[in-house]
Structure formats: C-alpha cells, structure tokens
C-alpha cells in the first residue's frame, strides 16, 4: 500500500510539473507572437521613412518634418509595445 501511495504522489508531482511547463511554453509562444507583431510594423515604418529620406533627399522643411513626425510615431509605438511587453513578462512570472 505504501508503494502505491509513493508512486501516486510522484505521479502528481510530475503531472504538476508538466502542467507548469505547458503553461510556460504557451506563454513563451504568446511572447514570441507579441514580439514579432509589436516590433515588425513600427520598425518597417522607420525603415521606410529612412529610405524615403535617402532616396528623395527632402529639400524643404515640410517634407523633412513629415519624415521626422512619422519616425516619432513609430518610436512611440515601439515604446508603448515595450511597456506592454514588460507587463506581460511580469505577469508571466506570477
């Protein structure tokens, strides 16, 4: 009888660890998707603005201001994403 109880307890411990690992892997998968989606668009926007600057060499202040404003929006979007990411990671640790 003692042997069965011991094995049952060990099985419960292993099962608990597996559940934890599944939850952890799921959280990592979500983190990966969040990172890919949260960084790709603003980074692409920044690169596009840099390419516009490089190829068109804006000569007037309005065009240059538009490029800078677009870069600023993308950087703010990245900043917002990093805050969201920190919250997710903090909550994942709980």
- pLDDT tens per residue across span 39-53: 999 999 999 999 988
Average pLDDT over the chain, rounded to an integer: 90
Rg (CA), the chain: 24
Q: Tokens 């994403």 correspond to what residue?
A: 81
Global model pTM greater than 0.75: no
Residue % of the chain over a pLDDT of 90: 63
d(CA 67, CA 59): 12
**Residue 46 structure tokens:** 């920044």
Yes or no: say if 67 and 53 are a contact pair by the CB < 8 Å rule. Answer: yes
């Amino acid at each position: 009888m003692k042997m069965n109880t011991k094995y049952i307890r060990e099985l419960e411990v292993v099962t608990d660890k597996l559940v934890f690992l599944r939850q952890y892997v799921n959280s990592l998968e979500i983190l990966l998707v969040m990172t890919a989606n949260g960084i790709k668009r603003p980074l692409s926007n920044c690169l596009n603005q840099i390419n516009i600057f490089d190829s068109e060499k804006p000569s007037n202040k309005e065009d240059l201001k538009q490029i800078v404003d677009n870069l600023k929006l993308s950087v703010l979007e990245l900043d917002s994403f990093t805050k969201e990411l920190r919250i997710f990671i903090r909550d994942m640790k709980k």
